[in-house]
Structure 1
Amino acid sequence: MRDVAIVGAGQSTYGEHPNSGIKELFATAYDAMAESVDRGYDPDEVDAAHVGSLGVGGSQLGITGASLTSHVGLTGLPVQRVENACASGGFALLNAVQAVGSGIHDAVIASGVEKMLDLSGDRSKYWLGVSGDTEYERLAGMTFAGVYAIVAQRYLAETDAEHDHLSKVAVKNHENGALNPKAQFQREVSVEKAAGAPEIADPLNLYDACPTTDGAACALVVPADEAHRYTDDPVYITGFGGGSDYLALHDRETITSLSAVREAADAAYDRAGRTPAEVDFAEVHDCFTIAELLAYEDLGFADRGEGWRLVEEGRTARDGDLPVNTSGGLKAKGHPLGATGIGQVVEVFEQLRGEAGDRQVDGEVALSHNVGGSGGAATVFVYEVAR
């Protein structure tokens, strides 16, 4: 395969957009991506596009991809909607990387979009619930929060972690989100406030959960040896991987580790020729605070049952040796399902190019981790500023 690089990436603000539909949100992210291409963006060079979206609300369930790309003037090229629940954006990027890396295409847009905040709370819970097993979880009344609450209960029982460690994840990510002008929640919270929030599903409370969000994000993937036609500062994708697992929790060997993530991470590290110890910072999928602790372990940053120690010791803080979710993560930046995986790319792109402003961290090797549902699917990518 050819090496590949990202030469442009952009997103809308995340949060409530009452006057914008998915077309307008997509156009905002697309324009931001185009503006980030230093030497000029030519839409005529785009060969294909992949659009991640769960289709929340059903505003455009059929032919979503072509509906969005034609709105910004991209027609005549193959466009595909990608659906893998919360990992839709990550798999859109995986498709783009494979297409460019294989030589089938030379410039591919990976994108995602979701419009969630024009629905009632009950309807939002329905759309989140479809990412679980229909027969044994959703139709039995299990909510998305309930699934992760079961995981959290098990993790707290099996390890020395306490709920305060979950709260510290929330506090850390809100501190980072407060510095991100694109984040849904740009305010800090205390450990006391996070720990004392109303319960949503024992042991998880309101501050353990990410918000529902409107938003979109786009990235442009090209061959690495063509990247300098677009920019002096490309971001190379040196490793990538995807994985899957049983959808229902009761079918898995364990619920405190996600095999889909381990499979994706192993493939990404192997292709990049890197180890977890070489990653300088990461964007991980913290749909619930417990998910971030699991990510530390499944990505190899900590031993099994020891992920909570990274938060306890401050290692994943912005000034730690392994900053995690400098964007604010899903917890503070927001979680527009289909856009989330590409939104992570935007943060990595800006950080590696030194464009992250007040939340800038040092590093030349980064990772992103995008999970679908409770772990039924996952992608992991390794990024570098030099091949």
Structure 2
Amino acid sequence: MTGVSVYGVGTSHFGRRPDRDAVTLVHDAVSEALADAGDPALDAVWVGTVFGAPGVAQRSLRALGITGIPVVTVENACASGTTAFAEACEAVRSGRYGRVLALGVERMSAAFDGAITPEPSDPEQASGLALPALYAMSAARYLALGAVTHEQLAAVSVKNHAHALHNPRAQYAGSYTVEQVLGSRMISDPLTLLQCCPTSDGAAAAVLGPAGGTGREVAVRGVALRSGAPWNERSPHVWGHDLTRDTAADALAAAGLDAVSDVDVVEVHDAFTIGEIVTVEALGLVPAGAGGRAAESGLTALGGRHPVNPSGGLLSRGHPLGATGLAQVAEIVWQLRGEATGRQVEGARIGLVETMGGGVSVLDGNACVVAVLEAP
């Protein structure tokens, strides 16, 4: 067994990109990652995508001259990219392969328009519970319990859009007020348009290999992957909380960390504003019921004690499903190297990525991946 490091990362620009097919998006991300790694040699590739056409991985890699090696495509809803990352890490750690590429790609604007739709056989489909409605139920529960206010929900969007002003790859950025967020078009009550992630196209990639201790390697301290358990009356928490909590505990234990408070910078799955609030509580960054206050007070903003989503997050950077997790990894790598110009978390040494994938009936999420990375 061996330690694992990230040698290089790369992403495309995110957004609605009708001028860019999957091949060109992958070319942007992988070319940058290989150049960043300093060596184009690869032994295997893991690719995360949700709506990619059959063969999208091989087709896109062929255009880069990456052929003749194992290519494995995985689907785990929004956690597909970080599932590819987790499997690539294990392939290196176990000694199965030397240098491995983890890749995520999605062209949502071409594949579909809207949220992941439940299968007709799922009761959620009959009830109209697509993911915006499921997250809206969580927000409504928090509001009813007094665990958050409408203004605190909006504060997450204000924060992350402001962070994205310093991310030239982000789909959206802006200096919004709480009133503007709350006044935007209602999508699924109480979540308004500016509290929901956009439809996005993009790709992201990371090159991994055995830890060698060179100057720019970012060490993978720990990574964990879980699938959701049945979500029923036994849990007092909203959907996704318990899966995120348990996966984070696994990753922190693997990283040898006593608590998430040891982490300096975090990228979490904020597909909707309530998602970030639930996640920072599930991770243990703040106590239960304090996630909204953390955003409102600046605790989770750049310059705060626990900076969350300096990239702008899914709300603002964008959310091309299969690419999202690896875009989060790329952001944390840049942060830990001190290369996140304009949005740098000063002195960041330990970073954490959390990606949550949902959609399967009666489960507390399809999958969750949490990874802990350490600066060179």
Residue 53 of structure 1 is matched in structure 2 by 49
| Secondary structure, counterpart of 1:339 in structure 2 | helix
Residue 20 of structure 2 is matched in structure 1 by 20
State whether residues 283 and 344 of structure 1, in contact with CA within 8 Å, keep that contact through their aligned partners in structure 2.
yes
1:79-118 correspondence to structure 2 within 5 Å: 79-118=71-110
Residue 129 of structure 1 is matched in structure 2 by 117
Q: Using the TM superposition, name which of 348-357 and 254-263 deviates more.
A: 254-263
Residue 188 of structure 2 is matched in structure 1 by 201
Residue 304 of structure 1, aligned match among 273, 280, 288 = 288
Counterpart code for 2:256 = G
Structure 2, unaligned runs of 5 or more: 360-364
Q: Using the TM superposition, name which of 305-314 and 295-304 deviates more.
A: 305-314
**Post-superposition shift, 1:257?**
5.1
Q: Describe the superposition over 1:168-200 as per-residue Cα deviations: whole angstroms up to 9, x where unpaired.
A: 000000001111000001322111101211111
Return the alpha-carbon distance in structure 1 between the equivalents of residues 2 and 336 of structure 2: 21
State whether residues 29 and 217 of structure 1, in contact with CA within 8 Å, keep that contact through their aligned partners in structure 2.
yes
Q: TM-score, normalised by structure 1?
A: 0.91
What is the percent sequence identity of the aligned residues?
A: 39
State whether residues 64 and 81 of structure 1, in contact with CA within 8 Å, keep that contact through their aligned partners in structure 2.
no
**Post-superposition shift, 1:49?**
0.5
Return the alpha-carbon distance in structure 1 between the equivalents of residues 126 and 369 of structure 2: 27
Return the alpha-carbon distance in structure 1 between the equivalents of residues 321 and 121 of structure 2: 19
Return the alpha-carbon distance in structure 2 between the equivalents of residues 154 and 203 of structure 1: 11
| Secondary structure, counterpart of 1:117 in structure 2 | helix
Residue 277 of structure 1 is matched in structure 2 by 261
Counterpart code for 1:13 = H
Return the alpha-carbon distance in structure 2 between the equivalents of residues 328 and 221 of structure 1: 25
> Is 1:319 matched with 2:303?
yes
State whether residues 210 and 331 of structure 1, in contact with CA within 8 Å, keep that contact through their aligned partners in structure 2.
yes
> Is 1:243 matched with 2:226?
yes
| Secondary structure, counterpart of 1:111 in structure 2 | strand
| Secondary structure, counterpart of 2:315 in structure 1 | helix
> Is 1:369 matched with 2:351?
no
**Post-superposition shift, 1:250?**
5.1
Counterpart code for 1:311 = A
1:1-387 correspondence to structure 2 within 5 Å: 1-37=1-37, 40-42=38-40, 45-55=41-51, 60=53, 62-118=54-110, 123-125=112-114, 128-130=116-118, 134-225=121-212, 228=214, 232-246=215-229, 253=235, 254-255=237-238, 258-274=241-257, 275-362=259-346, 363-373=348-358, 375-386=365-376
Return the alpha-carbon distance in structure 2 between the equivalents of residues 297 and 260 of structure 1: 12
Structure 1, unaligned runs of 5 or more: none
| Secondary structure, counterpart of 1:129 in structure 2 | coil
| Secondary structure, counterpart of 1:180 in structure 2 | coil
Return the alpha-carbon distance in structure 1 between the equivalents of residues 344 and 129 of structure 2: 39
Return the alpha-carbon distance in structure 1 between the equivalents of residues 334 and 366 of structure 2: 29
Return the alpha-carbon distance in structure 2 between the equivalents of residues 380 and 109 of structure 1: 18
**Post-superposition shift, 1:288?**
0.3
Q: TM-score, normalised by structure 2?
A: 0.93
**Post-superposition shift, 1:251?**
7.2
CA-atom RMSD in angstroms: 1.8
State whether residues 16 and 199 of structure 2, in contact with CA within 8 Å, keep that contact through their aligned partners in structure 1.
no
| Secondary structure, counterpart of 2:110 in structure 1 | coil
State whether residues 155 and 256 of structure 1, in contact with CA within 8 Å, keep that contact through their aligned partners in structure 2.
no
**Distance of aligned partners of 1:242 and 1:252 in 2 relative to their CA distance in 1, 3 Å threshold:** farther
| Secondary structure, counterpart of 1:357 in structure 2 | coil
Return the alpha-carbon distance in structure 1 between the equivalents of residues 192 and 47 of structure 2: 32
